[in-house]
Structure 1
């Protein structure tokens, strides 16, 4: 028989527990859920009584979760996502549908895919709202906390309840000013190594894949310039001796404005689309994911796409 205190726990209290965990404080969770802090405190107190555990303890200016709380949050998050997955409408008519989709990605994917995707989305589903976030390296956390519905990028998100679809692959090229001596002749690994480099760090949270490949060859680069993203890269390179190593499909968009040379080592950049069980069967989200795949196939028609569920 279920104890009375436990039987009285509702989905709202479970939602508040997860919000407190993700936000890191009662006050931040209250703001996130647009409720009073006393409502948050009341819900956590009920959960404390029901599970016989303090759940959160004060450590200086912050709260820390107990071991039981950590396990409870994990189970609660899974339960909430399963309930949401059951509740979402599976039927979908693009022209009449209303709703919102949050897509998280970085400059590479935004620049190549989103212009065509947004045009098609506006024509086919004019009442659907699209929110775009910067993912950097936070894609899994954004999915886990339901901040994002879809994550695009060269990341690996593993674990139960995550789904993946490979949408395209790329590789690296080097871009530089047309008057840079490296723009003439083959760009060998030795010539590349001695160049003045730009590193794109996504606000200091990311190191491009080619750095690891170079370290395997005992080559350690010291960039002369680091930038938070690919935005305005062309302006930073023009008239200088700087060289940036970026995805080839992005490099090709600079046309004759910058010189492009193949990166000395072939390194695949696999761009995957990720989502969770929460939106897996949603009519709206299934349609949007397929639209993204269709647009990608038009932009990068040589790609083979596959869908994988992790368990």
Structure 2
């Protein structure tokens, strides 16, 4: 099947982008709300047009060829330009009915999302809010258009992203009030003598305090590893276990526990991140302003 590249439409380019980002014909079809055969047909046309397989199947995923990556670089620019042209210059929250998607993790869902959602609902009662996991690569959620905005310790400096910092955070140690080290300053030696609960968020994410202690030549050997801070207070209460968590989160989830300064503070910034694609959108500007106004402080 051959096709003159000048006959391609934006739907074909969007299909190419989705298969690339999602790694699956099936997932792309679900996102486009079409049959998988329609996606296969479009990719077949593109293969004929560009004389390249574009994707090869490896390990259950559709892996892009080098030619596909080159084509996507130009296709993304065209799709972003089309989005920019279609975006309204004005936005009226009171009458809006769109769905906005925020990518974040546990910290933000506990401390920030309730305030953000309340503010969004107050200004735009007809809008819906969807919250998805950012894991360790939330910027990919932005690039794949799964999310409108990313909230958390995900500042990006490379071209194509915009970042606004709203406050700084650091790590502290949580433990039962009866723990022998409760209320005492922890030295590095004290810290490594503790029985640690390590929160391993997965997705390639490594907490800032771990990066700091490893940079100093240390390695943490945990007694217990869990995937989330959920249920942490119950794990620590009445035990000799200690968890290192962001200070604000620790204060929120464990008011009956003791908190001590961590010798590895792991200071980090919390940010709102978005892409150039949504930078000029009136609706997205409003969304970011609401988020920042309710996250600062």
Q: Same fold (TM over 0.5)?
A: yes
- Helix, strand or coil: the match of 1:14? helix
- 1:8-48 deviation line (CA, Å, top 9, x unaligned): 10001111111221232333322331212332232223222
Q: Find the counterpart in structure 2 of residue 169 from structure 1.
A: 168
- In 2, Cα distance between the equivalents of 1:269 and 1:247? 9
- Helix, strand or coil: the match of 1:39? helix
Offset, 1:265: 3.5
- In 1, Cα distance between the equivalents of 2:22 and 2:82? 22
Q: Find the counterpart in structure 1 of residue 214 from structure 2.
A: 215
Please, which runs of 5 or more residues in structure 1 have no aligned partner?
Answer: 301-311
User: More deviation in 210-219 or 56-65?
Assistant: 56-65
Q: Find the counterpart in structure 2 of residue 8 from structure 1.
A: 7
- 1:111-144 deviation line (CA, Å, top 9, x unaligned): 1111222112111110111100111112021111
Q: Find the counterpart in structure 1 of residue 284 from structure 2.
A: 285
Offset, 1:60: 7.8
Classify 1:267/1:22 alpha carbon distance in 2 versus 1 (closer, same or farther; 3 Å). closer
List aligned pairs for 1:87-166, cutoff 5 A.
Answer: 87-166=86-165
User: More deviation in 50-59 or 142-151?
Assistant: 50-59
Contact 1:175–1:258 (Cα < 8 Å) also in 2: yes
Q: Find the counterpart in structure 1 of residue 247 from structure 2.
A: 248
Contact 2:102–2:130 (Cα < 8 Å) also in 1: yes
- In 2, Cα distance between the equivalents of 1:245 and 1:34? 43
Q: Find the counterpart in structure 2 of residue 76 from structure 1.
A: 75
- Helix, strand or coil: the match of 2:156? coil
Please, which runs of 5 or more residues in structure 2 have no aligned partner?
Answer: none
- In 2, Cα distance between the equivalents of 1:256 and 1:12? 52
- In 2, Cα distance between the equivalents of 1:85 and 1:231? 40
